[in-house]
Amino acid sequence: MPGVQPLQFDASLVVAFVRSIKNVLSTMVSIEATVGKPYIKEGEKPGHDVSSIVGFSGEVKGNVVVSFGMDTALKVVETFCGMPLDATSDDFADAVGELCNMIAGNAKKDFGLNAGIGIPSVVIGSNHTIARLRDVPCIVIPCTCSAGDFCVEVNIKQIGNN
């Protein structure tokens, strides 16, 4: 449409997440992840039923969401913790949150920017919606591993020095 600015994003920030996903899953969960071709998310619904959200502050604003189907989340958490956990337990939510925290933190170190991350939040249930920045695209990084499919949604932008 005339006069409408296209949404901009920094591809290097997404590349940092691709590296982080592979690194965290292989070193912390002993699972090899295959990363598919990233794409721009349409709509607001989550990719799956279990989502962990970590916000960014400082020179980077926005959030990252790691989203699993329930069966995949149960298998990944079991491998990560060394024992099965019920999805209703606090430990299950903590483990999902910690995985997102590690992916966000590992990616952040590659940004080359002064950025902080918040405490992860976890949402469990179908059809939940996660608010995001509207002036940058939400990039979905589809992933698969021996436990199943999951995705990482990156909705961040560099905002400079604060």
Q: Is residue 2 part of a domain?
A: no
Residue with tokens 């989340």: 73
Q: Is residue 104 part of a domain?
A: yes
Give the pairing of strands 139-145 and 39-40. antiparallel
Paired tokens of 32: 């090899």
The pLDDT tens digits of the residues spanning 128-157 come to 888 889 888 999 999 999 999 999 999 999
In this prediction, residue 13 has a pLDDT band, given cuts at 50, 70 and 90, of confident
Spatial distance between the Cα atoms of 13 and 110, rounded to a whole number of angstroms? 8
Q: Is residue 57 part of a domain?
A: yes
Q: Is residue 145 part of a domain?
A: yes
- Give percent of the chain above pLDDT 70: 91
Q: Is residue 134 part of a domain?
A: yes
Q: Structurally, how many domains does the chain consist of?
A: 1
pLDDT at 1: 40
Give the other-Cβ count within 10 Å of 69's Cβ.
18
List the one residue out of 91, 94, 143 whose CA is nearest residue 119. Answer: 94
Say if residue 6's pLDDT is above 80.
no
Say if residue 28's pLDDT is above 50.
yes
Say if residue 3's pLDDT is above 50.
no
Burial (CB < 10 A; 0-12, 13-18, 19+), residue 86, is: exposed
Residue with tokens 């469990």: 124
Say if residue 7's pLDDT is above 80.
no
- Which domain range does residue 96 map to? 11-158
The pLDDT tens digits of the residues spanning 75-97 come to 999 999 999 999 999 999 999 99
pLDDT at 9: 63
Say if residue 4's pLDDT is above 50.
no
Q: Is residue 3 part of a domain?
A: no
